[in-house]
């Protein structure tokens, strides 16, 4: 089966400044694929190439097997793009905005009316349909922004940081909506800065930095491949943990205990348990912990600030 | 799909009250205001304050005669306020004051070469004083004529002989063309209609650049909408707005001031071409300018510069020769000329072919530039 999205060594520059340096991605149909990366990494550029807003300088990009350069019109029928910016007409009501976008996607008449009712219910704004968008909170606007991309039942939904600056309730509502869209068979390409969103929603991800994919695969695989395992120790009485034999590294404080990152977590756990017993230190919690996506992300992209 | 874009645009325009103000209320206000300033629309007479210190039947008869001859609205002032009234003239608060001194009646009836006099205090910088002086001279002439008639009669001349003797050797046959208030109305109403049709460029620039900077244009590019439908829909929306604007303003002129309509077919074609011309130039500017501020600056240049040079504020004949030559390169001039030909001279469609052709050429040029630049505009809309 063709992947929903296939980008093969895509290169794109802006006025000679490289934005994508040969990105390759594969997103399976029906999946939710997370695109993670710091500012200016190339996430939005990749999405704009897939939606036809930009043309790649080199390489190939395909959506449902169709080339973005040649088959733009057919691709546009099948995608719903949720841009990072809220692009709605603030003076118009949510309903009028959706009428307009529905018509732009080729949905008309009774079918459009019915579909607007469905998507408004989906985003939890059925009772505010007639209100002007300018009266909405940021979270409500974001939800209408998403609803506008769903009216034509797209097979692929491309979401560029759709939860920026919203309250936890709206974010949660959007998560539920994305899960529901997936259950209906849609493929989702989801770009974000928030690791927990990828962990909560996506089954595959790519970490992009400086125009390159630096890690890609299923979430668990990426964590296993790029994240160092760690051992966490919490003592009953608090205080300093007993030292470990050389070669295991130095424990660092974490929450109410101590953490040591090591490629040999089982050995470290055994050694720490023995050291605690020898020193009569009461152990409250001692366990091997899975690396977080955030630690993987930071270890791969570094901790320096990215302001552009 | 273009119609859907236009429909959305009309909905947005209806929600924005500022647009109504700019495109409809403002020109109506201008028409009323400048119509009144250029007078003749409201029919209100100039007022002339006076002090009658003589208070006789002769002085009253003189004032009645002045009011009747000049059309001035005479305003009686208290006898003790002469200094105050003169101060008001010095301070520029009043243009003139007529004073009939004591003894006016006696001097009038005295004969023997004795002259009655009136005093006219006036602001030398005001045009009103000249008009008052002319009216006073007119009344004085009438009085002299009456006096001469009486003298001739006393000398034994018959009425016919008196009339022949007093007849002016020179007669002026005044034959005013485009007479009545229609002349002023036909300047002011179409003038401000043409001027404010070009103000439609402001909302056009706001909407096109607003869509672009907000990311709306980019988003629409990801839908099934063909880019040309976007251009066509947006343009069409404003063509219709300009047509409505012209209909309202000319209708206001017709119903409020009796502006003649002339040949309806010619008027409709002219209004349609004016709307296409204004929005065509607007479209070109939307595609050319780099930002809203630059767009506003160019719009002011086109609208205000075009209004002055196009003879929209005052007749182009009053301009220096060089400016009159330049005005031929301004679409507003041709629109105004065609309007006045239809409204004042009864021109028909064939008579205004030249102005219509010029307007069509400007419209075509604007639309062509807009069309040629549109691809680059859309391509740069990726936000």
Residue pLDDT, tens place only, A263-277: 788 888 888 888 888
A189: nearest Cα among A11, A49, A39: A49
Look up the pTM and report it. Answer: 0.75
> To the nearest whole number, what is the mean pLDDT of chain A?
88
B205: nearest Cα among B286, B287, B280, B281: B286
User: pLDDT digit string (tens) for A153-207?
Assistant: 999 999 999 988 888 888 888 899 999 999 999 999 999 888 888 888 999 999 8
Query: Are B250 and B271 spatial neighbours (Cβ–Cβ below 8 Å)?
Result: yes
**Domain co-membership, B155 together with B278:** no
User: A interface mutation test: which of B20, B221, B223, B234 has the most A CBs within 10 A?
Assistant: B223
Please give, rounded to a whole number of angstroms, the shortest distance from the CA of A250 to a CA of chain B.
Answer: 47
Q: How far apart are the first and last CA of chain A?
A: 38
Rounded Cα gap, residues B70 and B358, in angstroms: 45
* Residue-level length of chain A: 308
Measured between beta carbons, which residues in chain A are less than 8 angstroms from residue B218? 48, 53, 83, 87
User: pLDDT digit string (tens) for A235-270?
Assistant: 887 778 888 877 777 888 888 888 888 878 888 888
The residue out of B98, B133, B166 marking a domain boundary is B166
Query: Are A12 and A45 spatial neighbours (Cβ–Cβ below 8 Å)?
Result: yes
Instruction: Give average pLDDT by consecutive 10-residue segment, chain B, 383 residues.
Output: 92 86 83 71 66 89 82 80 85 85 84 81 77 84 83 83 75 55 74 92 93 93 93 96 94 86 92 96 94 90 88 78 86 92 86 94 96 91 71
**Domain co-membership, B142 together with B211:** no
**Domain co-membership, B324 together with B360:** yes
DSSP state of B215: T
Contact partners, residue B84, CB within 8 Å, separation at least 6: none
Question: Is residue B268 domain-resident?
Answer: yes
**Domain co-membership, B190 together with B332:** yes
**Domain co-membership, B24 together with B136:** no
Question: Is residue B171 domain-resident?
Answer: no
**Domain co-membership, B156 together with B205:** no
Number of domains chain B contains? 2
The residue out of B111, B133, B166 marking a domain boundary is B166
**Domain co-membership, B368 together with B247:** yes
Please give, rounded to a whole number of angstroms, the shortest distance from the CA of A76 to a CA of chain B.
Answer: 6
- CB pair distance less than 8 Å for B221 and A96: no
- CB pair distance less than 8 Å for B215 and A83: yes
Measured between beta carbons, which residues in chain A are less than 8 angstroms from residue B207? none
Question: Is residue B301 domain-resident?
Answer: yes
pLDDT for res B169? 67
Q: What is the DSSP string of A93-131?
A: BHHHHHHHHHHHTT--HHHHHHHHHHHHHHTT-GGGTTS
The residue out of B116, B136, B166 marking a domain boundary is B166
Structure tokens at B303: 């609208």
| 3-state class (DSSP) for residue B258 | coil
Rounded Cα gap, residues A191 and B286, in angstroms: 33
Q: Is B301 on the interface with A (CB under 8 A)?
A: no
**Domain co-membership, B204 together with B325:** yes
- CB pair distance less than 8 Å for B224 and A48: no
Assigned CATH for A5-224: 3.40.50.300
B268: nearest Cα among B293, B287, B247, B242: B247
CATH of the domain at B101: 3.40.1710
Q: Indicate the helix (H) or strand (E) that contains A75.
A: helix A72-78
How many Cβ atoms from other residues are within 10 Å of residue B260's Cβ?
13
CA dist B49 to B84, B86, B88, B126, Å? 12, 11, 11, 15
Residues B42-47: contacts with CB within 8 Å, 24+ apart? Answer: B43/B181, B45/B71, B45/B72, B45/B73, B46/B72, B46/B73, B46/B128, B46/B131, B47/B72, B47/B73, B47/B74, B47/B75
Residue A252 backbone dihedrals phi, psi, to 5 degrees: -120, 145
**Domain co-membership, B146 together with B99:** yes
**Domain co-membership, B216 together with B306:** yes
Count Cβ–Cβ pairs < 8 Å, chain A vs chain B. Answer: 58
Nearest CA in chain A to B382: A53
Question: Is residue B197 domain-resident?
Answer: yes
Assigned CATH for A228-290: 3.30.70
Provide the residue ranges of all domains of chain A, joining segments of one domain with +: 5-224, 228-290
Domain of B12, in residue numbers: 2-39+181-380
Question: Is residue B174 domain-resident?
Answer: no
**Domain co-membership, B114 together with B188:** no
- CB pair distance less than 8 Å for B218 and A100: no
Rounded Cα gap, residues A69 and A57, in angstroms: 11
pLDDT for res B180? 47
* B219 Cα distance to chain centroid: 46
- CB pair distance less than 8 Å for B219 and A83: yes
**Domain co-membership, B232 together with B357:** yes
* Residue-level length of chain B: 383
Query: Are B257 and B343 spatial neighbours (Cβ–Cβ below 8 Å)?
Result: no
pLDDT for res B247? 94
pLDDT for res B127? 67
- CB pair distance less than 8 Å for B8 and A96: yes
With a CB-CB cutoff of 8 Å, which residues 182-241 of chain B face chain A? 214-216, 218-225
Please give, rounded to a whole number of angstroms, the shortest distance from the CA of A183 to a CA of chain B.
Answer: 24
pLDDT for res B174? 56
Structure tokens at B331: 């679409």
């Amino acid at each position: 089966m063709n992947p929903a999205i296939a980008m093969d060594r895509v290169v794109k520059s802006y006025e000679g400044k490289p934005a994508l340096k040969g990105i390759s991605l594969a997103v399976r149909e029906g999946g939710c694929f997370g695109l993670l990366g710091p500012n200016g990494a190339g996430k939005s550029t990749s999405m704009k190439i897939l939606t036809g807003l930009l043309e790649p300088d080199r390489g190939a990009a395909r959506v449902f097997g169709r080339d973005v350069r040649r088959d733009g019109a057919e691709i546009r029928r099948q995608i719903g793009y949720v841009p990072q910016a809220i692009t709605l007409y603030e003076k118009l009501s949510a309903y009028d905005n959706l009428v307009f976008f529905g018509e732009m996607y080729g949905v008309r008449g009774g079918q459009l009316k019915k579909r607007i009712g469905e998507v408004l219910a989906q985003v939890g704004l059925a009772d505010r349909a007639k209100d002007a968008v300018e009266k909405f909170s940021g979270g409500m606007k974001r939800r209408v922004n998403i609803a506008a991309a769903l009216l034509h039942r797209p097979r692929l939904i491309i979401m560029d940081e759709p939860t920026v600056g919203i309250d936890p309730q709206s974010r949660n509502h959007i998560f539920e909506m994305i899960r529901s869209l997936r259950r209906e068979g849609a493929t989702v390409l989801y770009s974000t800065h928030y690791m927990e969103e990828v962990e909560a929603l996506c089954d595959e991800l790519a970490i992009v930095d400086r125009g390159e994919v630096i890690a890609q695969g299923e979430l668990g695989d990426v964590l296993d491949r790029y994240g160092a395992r760690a051992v966490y120790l919490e003592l009953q009485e608090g205080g300093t943990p007993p030292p470990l034999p050389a070669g295991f590294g130095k424990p660092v404080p974490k929450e109410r205990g101590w953490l040591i990152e090591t490629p040999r977590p089982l050995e470290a756990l055994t050694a720490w348990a023995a050291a605690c017993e020898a020193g009569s230190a009461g152990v409250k919690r001692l366990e091997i912990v899975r690396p977080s996506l955030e630690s993987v992300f930071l270890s791969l992209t570094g901790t320096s600030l990215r302001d552009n | 799909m273009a119609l859907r874009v236009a429909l959305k645009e009309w909905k947005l325009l209806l929600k924005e009250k500022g647009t109504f103000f700019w495109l409809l209320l403002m020109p109506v206000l201008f028409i009323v205001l400048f119509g009144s300033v250029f007078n003749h629309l409201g029919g209100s007479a100039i007022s002339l304050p006076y002090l009658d210190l003589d208070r006789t039947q002769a002085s009253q008869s003189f004032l009645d005669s002045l009011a009747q001859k000049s059309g001035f609205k005479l305003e009686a002032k208290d006898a003790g306020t002469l200094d105050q009234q003169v101060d008001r003239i010095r301070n520029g608060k009043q243009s003139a004051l007529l004073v009939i001194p004591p003894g006016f009646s006696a001097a009038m009836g005295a004969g023997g070469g004795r002259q009655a006099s009136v005093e006219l205090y006036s602001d030398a910088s005001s045009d009103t004083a000249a008009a008052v002086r002319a009216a006073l001279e007119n009344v004085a002439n009438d009085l002299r004529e009456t006096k001469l008639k009486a003298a001739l009669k006393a000398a034994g001349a018959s009425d016919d002989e008196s009339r022949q003797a007093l007849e002016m050797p020179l007669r002026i046959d005044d034959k005013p063309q485009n007479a009545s208030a229609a002349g002023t109305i036909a300047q002011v109403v179409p003038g401000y209609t043409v001027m404010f049709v070009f103000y439609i460029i402001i909302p056009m620039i706001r909407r096109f650049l607003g869509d672009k900077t907000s990311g709306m244009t980019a988003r629409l590019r990801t839908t099934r909408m063909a880019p040309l439908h976007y251009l066509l829909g947006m343009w069409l929306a404003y063509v219709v707005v300009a047509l409505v604007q012209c209909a309202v303003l000319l209708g206001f002129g017709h119903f409020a001031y009796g502006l003649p309509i002339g040949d309806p077919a010619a008027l409709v074609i002219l209004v349609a071409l004016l709307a296409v011309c204004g929005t065509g130039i607007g479209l070109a500017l939307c595609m050319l300018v780099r930002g809203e501020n630059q767009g506003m600056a160019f719009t002011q240049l086109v609208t205000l510069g075009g209004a002055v040079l196009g003879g929209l504020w005052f007749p182009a004949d009053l301009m220096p020769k060089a400016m009159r030559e330049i005005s031929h390169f301004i679409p507003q001039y041709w629109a105004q000329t065609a309007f006045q030909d239809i409204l004042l001279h009864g021109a028909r469609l064939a008579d205004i072919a030249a102005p219509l052709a010029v307007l069509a050429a400007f419209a075509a040029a604007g639309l062509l530039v807009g069309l040629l630049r549109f691809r680059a505009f859309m391509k740069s809309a990726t936000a």
